[in-house]
A and B are shown apart, each in its own frame.
Chain A
Amino acid sequence: MCLAIPGRIIEIPPDSQDSALVEVVGVRRKIDLGLLQDDPPVSGDWVLIHVGFAMSKISEQDAADQMSTLRMLGEIDGAMQEVQGYGVEGEKEDVSDAGTYESEMPGVKVN
């Protein structure tokens, strides 16, 4: 629950500025942007995600660092389980699990 998971915003649907499709090491899920309405992110931005809500914008380097912290903490599996869990059974919009979660971030191995 206290995990902060870094993800990259892939797409913000034009009809709903309050949500975005994010990618976290190969897994794509919809998250809520409502808590960043004062400084809305755009596609390509990195955010820290907490219980399905983007909490803060961060740099790409910080995102890679945060992923490596999660790895060191032994929390990668928990984080990926959380991200894969966003959405409810039967209504997982925008699901496109790229199979295993291969890291696309430089220098970050996820396993």
Chain B
Amino acid sequence: MRFVDEFREPQLISKTAEEIRRIAGTERHYRMMEVCGGHTHAIYRFGLKDILPENIELIHGPGCPVCVLPMGRIDDGLSIAQDPDVIFAAFGDMMRVPGTQGSPLEHKARGMDVRIVYSPSDALKLARLNPHKHVMFFAIGFETTAPSTALTMMRAKAEGIRNFSVFCNHVTIIPAIRAILDSPDMRLDAFIGPGHVSTVIGCRPYEWIAKNERKPIVVSGFEPLDMLQSIVMLLRQLKAGEAKVENQYKRVVPWEGNLAALKAMSEVFQLRPYFEWRGLGFISQSALSVNHKYAEFDAEQRFSVPGIRVTDPMAAQCGEVLKGVLKPHQCKLFGRECTPEHPIGALMVSSEGSCAAYHNYEHRKAAMVSLSSIA
């Protein structure tokens, strides 16, 4: 428990960790998936594994939107911006993500007009400031970011702006969880539910996981104490043979979600029949596209898009890692061909991907230990 003293309320953390040990006992193994990439990052950063007993295993889920985006989508988006009259606007997270011909940043170095924005509404501002150019916003994210994109498009339509469009890559979390649960090699006992996605969708969409799949799920905050408390709540359910949706993050997540945000999403978007996820393959109704009312703001309808498909190398075992069948370091490419500097598989692409998080913290820790043992 080497990090505990650095946390807020260290005594409460120690007490909660003690409670986890007491409930978990030693007779069985528990496998819990944290769905959200933010949780994955926090788990490694806080060294939570050092606090948890060995029979509680955390499996890192699909909740990193940058990681699960197929490389072909990046190629498609960049192909639209080959036109010198188009400005490619995207969040900073996207800038170093490789397409087959390089990342957006590398395209910028070759002369493409690529701009970092921190908000979709700033992409719209760029369009207002550059009336003779077309601004294409490369939209990405789960339900946490999709409402902001939707509202921006509603504002663009209300203002009658003609030189703005969205290349929509928004995905939805529930079908990804379903795909993981449907997988034949799935061996999960419970879920730590995403915090910020749930501020938008609320807790109801998870009820089928409890009812139909008989898996407990607890929506959790991001502090060490939040996650430990969520694990206690999951263990209590598992011990009692229950499967319920519980909300540990009540101070931020309302049970019903944010209705205004959901309304904005349904005004602008529709479900795609299917969408490809890196590491998981095609998942039906798992992503959003722009509906006919907003067609003029849909880059895919406005421009011709090549529809590039890039398959990940067979040797990369991202799918197995995502489903919890393999640990990141058990993949054949981990730390050799595939590193955060040169990502080959999806989960190495962003710091919220489980392989990158594992590489950044655990791998380094292991290297330090082996170095100190030599010394």
B222 within 8 A of A: yes
Instruction: Judge whether A50 and B251 touch: CB under 8 Å.
Output: no
Interface residues on A, range: 35 or more
Report A11 CB to chain B, min CB distance, Å.
Answer: 18
Chain B proximity mask over A51-66: 1 for CB below 8 Å, otherwise 0: 1110110110010010
B118 within 8 A of A: yes
- Residues on B with C-beta less than 8 A from A1 are 65-66, 91-93, 140-141, 145
A38 vs B262: C-alpha distance when bound (angstroms): 12
Report B210 CB to chain A, min CB distance, Å.
Answer: 24
Known contacts A35-B148, A88-B125, A50 near B42 by CB under 8 Å: no
B144 within 8 A of A: yes
A46 vs B145: C-alpha distance when bound (angstroms): 20
Chain B proximity mask over A39-50: 1 for CB below 8 Å, otherwise 0: 000000000101
Report A16 CB to chain B, min CB distance, Å.
Answer: 11
| A interface majority secondary structure | mixed
Chain A proximity mask over B185-214: 1 for CB below 8 Å, otherwise 0: 000000000001001100000000000000
Give B contacts to A, CB under 8 Å: 6-8, 36-38, 41-42, 45-46, 65-66, 91-93, 115-122, 125-126, 129, 140-141, 144-145, 147-148, 151, 155, 196, 199-200, 222-224, 251-254, 258-261, 264, 352
Q: 7 additional contacts, CB 8 Å, given A1-B93, A86-B119?
A: A35-B258, A50-B144, A51-B120, A52-B121, A55-B261, A81-B92, A85-B118
**What are 26 of the A-B contact pairs (CB < 8 Å)?**
A1-B141, A2-B141, A2-B352, A32-B148, A35-B260, A35-B261, A35-B264, A38-B259, A38-B260, A50-B144, A51-B119, A52-B121, A53-B121, A55-B196, A55-B199, A56-B252, A58-B252, A59-B251, A69-B222, A72-B224, A73-B45, A73-B222, A85-B92, A85-B118, A88-B125, A88-B126
